[in-house]
Amino acid sequence: MTDATTQIKDTVTSNDVVLFMKGTKSMPQCGFSSRVAGVLNYMGVDFTDVNVLADDGIRQGIKDYSDWPTIPQLYVKGEFVGGCDIITEMTLSGELDALFEQNGVTYDKDAAEKIREANG
């Protein structure tokens, strides 16, 4: 395992919710990262953000780790969930709520409902 792989594995296994993104949750550097971080922030999810732009090893490493070609990437309890399109779909279908509930991740159900109402 490379150092990046070890670092990624440690990060996703020691934090309940991790978003590998371009930029940070307070200052996203791309629209897709901004959308996923925005959903998580709005839903009040406590998540760890990893800025892939700050480390080329992590930027490439996360794509290899998940076998997924794009950023952002969301992990819940060490499991890869998906990128922007998948997270958007899961939010709108309620699947993301269910995933959080199954994994004991605290989130604001009312906020999740508001997202669905606004996009319904």
Q: Which residue matches tokens 């997270």?
A: 87
As a whole number of angstroms, the distance between CA 7 and CA 12 comes to 9
Which residue range is the domain that position 112 belongs to?
3-119
Domains: count for the chain: 1
Q: How would DSSP label each residue in 65-119?
A: HHT--SS-EEEETTEEEE-HHHHHHHHHHTHHHHHHHHTT----HHHHHHHHHHH
What CATH code is carried by the domain that includes residue 71? 3.40.30.10
Report pTM: 0.96
Tens-level pLDDT at each residue, the chain (120 residues): 679 999 999 999 999 999 999 999 999 999 999 999 999 999 999 999 999 999 999 999 999 999 999 999 999 999 999 999 999 999 999 999 999 999 999 999 999 999 999 987
Give the 3-state secondary structure of residue 51. Answer: strand
Distance of CA 58 to the CA centre of its chain: 15
